[in-house]
Amino acid sequence: MLIKIHEGYRKTVSLCDLDLIGKTFEEGIMRIEIKEGFFKGEKKNKQEVLEILKDMQKEDATFNIVGKESVETALEAGIIDKQGIIKIKEVPIALVLL
């Protein structure tokens, strides 16, 4: 997985499966572009991502999560729940905005 933390008024965490970088998915009116500038961060394993997600949740960060492995990891970390997941072309996506 690739994870990147964007600094700002509130931290924004972008997390995606490695194989999705640079791809675009469209279905009906929904569209997501997995841009390198936003999503391409550091490559981390599941345990490292779990720790980062939990730390960032404590800081009231927002989250942009794309891909099966990434969404499953966010579920395990307690960042999202199943009702908050949408799919575009079978790619799971979750946003956490506070």
Q: What is the pLDDT of residues 43-54, one digit of tens each?
A: 999 999 999 999
How many independent structural domains does the chain possess? 1
Q: Assign residue 48 the CATH number of its domain.
A: 3.30.1860.10
Q: What is 10-74 written as a DSSP string?
A: S-EEEEE-GGGTT-EEEETTEEEE--HHHH--EE--HHHHHHHHHHHHHTT-EEEEESHHHHHHH
Model pTM above 0.85: yes
Range 9-22 average pLDDT: 96
> Domain limits at 21?
2-96
Checking if the pLDDT of 98 tops 80, the result is no
* 26-39 residue pLDDT tens: 999 999 999 999 99
pLDDT of the residue at 1? 98
